[in-house]
């Protein structure tokens, strides 16, 4: 006799439940629809999923996406269980995007991709999320801004700040920088306990500000910042210390790396010191070390040499982040440029898109980030090649939206 008290669902029900967790279409059902019910023919989730499908297939503009969807009207209507085969016109997409709450969309997408990551990593064992390795994989956040260049003809072109989880490729949020503010002021309200606690934040030199260091330290997070011309005294003090060969250097530590790829050889050398902690402690809260990073790049084809030296500071102690780890964290910050911003421009044609009015360009940029996150989740290495595959096999793109799995070409 079976005495178990567990209600074990059939295999089909378990698979259906797992698919629901990994279904972007299901996740978007939770997005608030600001439209009136009268005259509404397509749900908000359908509209957004159709656009994501077209983008997965390589359509870079709103007009191209509209045509791609209309050419497959019958097929798509059947899979989305629509009553009519006629697909929306371009104006419908534009009107809908103009009304979508971008912040709520970010919250839903971020939660969706975090659940997906947890499902892949842990399955039915949620306790595995709390292992040191799992926490480390979610610790590093790169924050950087990007101007949507197609909007530069406007008086105030759209400039979007993004928070990117380096190890997983998840975009936690986007934020448009207002006409009367800059990245520094736009970032302040976004530094919340849920975002900062237990995380390592890397940012460009613009954000090397005392207020940011104080805020991050008070919220139990850590920072790695670069000192440049916007903080000349800080830069000069660090340089004076680390360029001077006179002081006792027994507490200093060094590391270096050599890389050869993409037609170039690159040497990176870092020197770290805790000797300025007491001197800087009152102004730069939480500081634990300063560093000097030297990059030497040899371009093989051109035969030219580039040399750069930068200085910075971090709240990570030399035990938490010895030079080799600090060097890796600084380099990994550029994932937000190489894997997010560059691919949004190069593969998804974001800068060439001529949609400029209102909130629509920033919403399309959020959908571009969603497309890249979907591809990262299923292990796509060549985005352009996978887009061509989805264009030829739209059923695979639909499978990705509905079940979270597809054939990777």
Element (H, E) at 329: helix 323-332
How does residue 24 score in pLDDT terms, banded at 50, 70 and 90?
very high
Task: Say what the pTM is.
Answer: 0.86
* Average pLDDT score over residue span 147-173: 85
In this predicted structure, what is the pLDDT of residue 2?
Answer: 38
Domain boundary assignment for the chain: 11-102+354-403, 223-332
* Average pLDDT score over residue span 30-53: 92
Length of the chain: 409
Distance (Å, whole) CA 31 – CA 286? 39
Q: CA dihedral defined by 226, 231, 235, 238, rounded to 10 degrees?
A: -90
Element (H, E) at 369: helix 360-377
CB atoms within 10 A of CB 179: 10
Predicted confidence (pLDDT) per residue in 52-105, tens digit: 999 999 999 999 999 999 999 999 999 999 988 899 999 999 999 999 999 999
Predicted confidence (pLDDT) per residue in 331-370, tens digit: 999 999 999 999 999 899 888 777 767 788 899 999 999 9
In this predicted structure, what is the pLDDT of residue 210?
Answer: 96
* Average pLDDT score over residue span 312-323: 96
In this predicted structure, what is the pLDDT of residue 302?
Answer: 84
For residues 405 and 22, the answer to whether their CB atoms sit within 8 Å is: yes
Question: 47-51, 97-101, 154-158, 182-186: lowest mean pLDDT where?
Answer: 154-158
Rounded (10°) angle between helices 62-71 and 90-99: 120
**Average per-residue pLDDT in the chain?**
88
Percent of the chain whose predicted confidence (pLDDT) is above 70? 89
How does residue 263 score in pLDDT terms, banded at 50, 70 and 90?
confident
Question: By C-alpha distance, which of 174, 185, 136 is closest to 350?
Answer: 174
* Average pLDDT score over residue span 359-387: 93
Predicted confidence (pLDDT) per residue in 189-235, tens digit: 999 999 999 999 999 999 999 999 999 999 999 999 999 999 999 99
How many separate helices (H) and strands (E) can be counted in the chain? 19, 9
In this predicted structure, what is the pLDDT of residue 332?
Answer: 95
Best-predicted range by mean pLDDT (14-28, 32-46, 195-209): 195-209
């Amino acid at each position: 006799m079976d005495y178990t008290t567990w209600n074990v669902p059939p295999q089909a029900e378990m698979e259906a439940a797992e698919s629901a967790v990994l279904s972007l279409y299901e996740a978007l059902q939770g997005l608030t629809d600001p439209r009136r019910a009268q005259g509404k023919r397509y749900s908000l989730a359908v509209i957004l999923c159709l656009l994501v499908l077209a983008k997965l297939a390589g359509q870079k503009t709103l007009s191209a996406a509209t045509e791609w969807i209309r050419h497959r009207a019958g097929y798509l209507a059947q899979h989305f269980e629509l009553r009519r085969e006629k697909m929306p016109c371009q104006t419908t997409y534009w009107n809908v995007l103009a009304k979508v709450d971008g912040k709520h969309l970010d919250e839903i997408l971020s939660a969706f991709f975090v659940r997906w990551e947890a499902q892949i990593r842990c399955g039915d064992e949620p306790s595995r999320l709390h292992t040191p390795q799992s926490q480390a994989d979610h610790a590093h956040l790169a924050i950087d801004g990007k101007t949507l260049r197609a909007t530069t003809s406007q008086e105030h072109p759209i400039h979007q700040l993004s928070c990117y989880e380096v190890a997983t490729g998840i975009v936690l949020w986007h934020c448009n920088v207002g006409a009367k503010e800059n990245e520094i002021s736009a970032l302040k309200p976004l530094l919340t306990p849920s975002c900062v606690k237990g995380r390592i934040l890397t940012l460009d030199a613009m954000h090397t500000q005392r207020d940011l260091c104080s805020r991050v330290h008070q919220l139990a997070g850590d920072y790695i910042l670069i000192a440049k011309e916007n903080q000349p005294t800080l830069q000069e003090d660090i340089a004076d210390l680390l360029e001077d060969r006179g002081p006792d250097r027994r507490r200093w530590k060094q590391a270096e790396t050599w890389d050869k790829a993409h037609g170039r050889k690159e040497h990176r050398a870092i020197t770290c010191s805790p000797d300025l902690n007491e001197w800087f402690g009152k102004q730069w809260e939480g500081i634990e070390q300063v560093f000097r990073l030297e990059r030497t790049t040899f371009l093989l084809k051109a035969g030219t040499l580039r040399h750069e030296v930068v200085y910075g500071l971090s709240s990570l102690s030399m035990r938490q982040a010895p030079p080799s780890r600090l060097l890796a964290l600084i380099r990994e910050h550029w994932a937000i440029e190489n894997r997010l911003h560059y691919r949004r421009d190069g593969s998804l044609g974001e800068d060439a898109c001529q949609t400029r009015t209102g909130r629509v360009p920033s919403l399309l940029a959020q959908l571009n980030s969603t497309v890249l996150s979907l591809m990262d989740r299923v292990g796509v290495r060549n985005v352009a090649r996978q887009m061509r595959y989805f264009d030829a096999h739209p059923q695979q793109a639909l499978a990705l939206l509905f079940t979270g799995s597809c054939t990777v070409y």
